[in-house]
Amino acid sequence: MSAQIDQVTAEPVTRTGKGGAPPPRRGRAAAGLPYLLILPAGVITVLLLGWTMVKNGLLSFQDLNKRQLIRRVTEWIGVDNYSDQLSSSDFWKVTFRSVLFTAANVVLIMALGCLIGLLLARLGTKLRLLLALGLVLAWAMPTVAATTVFQWLFAQRFGVVNYVLDSLGWHSMAEYNWTGSQFSTFFVVTVLIVWQSIPFVAINLYAATTTIPKELYEAAALDGAGPWKQFTSVTFPFLKPFFLATTFLEVIWVFKSFTQVFVINEGGPDRLTETLPVYAFVEGMGNQHFGVGAAISILTILILLALTAYYLRLVLKQEEDEL
């Protein structure tokens, strides 16, 4: 009997297709089909984004102002635009301001978005549908339209916010100018950006929580774990990749936000609320130093690439720890 078992196990197993025929081998055409399918999207991306990046990069090595435009001449100045910005205190002030602004927004977005996402997971069907509908409507509103609405809400004379605060007894806020100082302007912009970004985090977090097996929560409850312990021992470990990916996306989106900051007060007062995208626009289009604006935009992209590299390093380290 043992000899027969050894003989059976020693015989190679031949995979067969239909009717006992060997399975068809994938040719080179079939192996290259996925790349062929993404080729149109890749070509369009290169044409719309890649060529623009190349032109912007070339422009950053030029001295292009009104004089050059009128005379239609190209003056190459090498890396002078970059060296001037890297040695400028204004550039580093704006960069530091952009980092602080991004950090504050991302912390608020992730904290409030995660709380609302966990609330969605605990609500009943009707309340969950109602809250999800409100989140989707807030997220789908165009940025310029939402920014205009917030301008009306925080208007100095006829704004709803000032009217409500005055009605509640805070009479000094009756005609408060929300765009008159750096802090209050950033407050309005932060409220706007957080309001727009929470739906993405909340809905994605709720979708991620539906993939967690309920048996794990039941086992944790049997062990005497409360809500916080269940979150730290069950929910968060499962959602950690989601937290990393979503935080990274929010950092990019907030860091490069332009419309909200510019439309609210155009980087004022006294250019104290300019972030790097607004700073590049004001220097390039406002002051018509187009080469300088292009150089600032390239430096902004390099900062985002550094953040991307750091994120990828965290992801790879996490995968190595799990292995």
> Among candidates 254, 218, 252, which has minimal Cα distance to 102?
254
Q: Rounded mean pLDDT of the chain?
A: 85
* pLDDT at residue 8 in the model: 41
Higher pLDDT, 322 or 205: 205
CA distances from 37 to 30, 41, 42, 51, 303 (A): 11, 8, 10, 22, 32
Residues whose CB is less than 8 angstroms from the CB of residue 256 and which lie 6 or more positions away in sequence, other chains included: 277, 300, 304
User: Which secondary structure element, helix H or strand E, spans residue 234, and what is its range?
Assistant: none
Contact call for residues 217 and 238 (beta carbons, < 8 A): no
Does the pLDDT value for residue 315 go beyond 90? no
* pLDDT at residue 27 in the model: 57
Give the end-to-end CA distance of the chain in Å, rounded to a whole number: 41
With vertex at residue 52, the alpha carbon angle to CA 50 and CA 57, rounded to the nearest 5 degrees, is 95
* pLDDT at residue 21 in the model: 52
Contact call for residues 275 and 261 (beta carbons, < 8 A): yes
Query: What whole-number percentage of the chain has pLDDT above 90?
Result: 41
Q: What is the distance between the alpha carbons of residues 282 and 267, in angstroms, rounded to a whole number?
A: 9
Tens of pLDDT, residue by residue over 131-166, are 999 999 988 899 999 999 999 999 988 889 999 999
Contact call for residues 104 and 97 (beta carbons, < 8 A): no
Reported as half-sphere exposure (CB side, CA atoms, 13 A), residue 189 has a value of: 29
* pLDDT at residue 23 in the model: 54
Residue type present at position 73: V
* pLDDT at residue 4 in the model: 44
Residues in a beta bridge with 76: 62
Structural domains for the chain: 87-322 (1.10.3720.10)
Tens of pLDDT, residue by residue over 248-272, are 889 999 998 999 999 998 888 888 9
Considering Cα of 149, then 155, then 161, then 164, what sign does the dihedral take?
A: negative
Mean pLDDT of 190-199: 94
Does the pLDDT value for residue 24 go beyond 60? no
Tens of pLDDT, residue by residue over 31-72, are 778 888 888 888 888 888 888 888 889 999 998 888 887 888
* pLDDT at residue 280 in the model: 93
Does the pLDDT value for residue 1 go beyond 90? no
Q: What is the distance between the alpha carbons of residues 253 and 137, in angstroms, rounded to a whole number?
A: 19
Of the pLDDT bands very low, low, confident and very high (cuts 50, 70, 90), residue 319 is: low
Of the pLDDT bands very low, low, confident and very high (cuts 50, 70, 90), residue 13 is: very low
Mean pLDDT of 94-122: 93
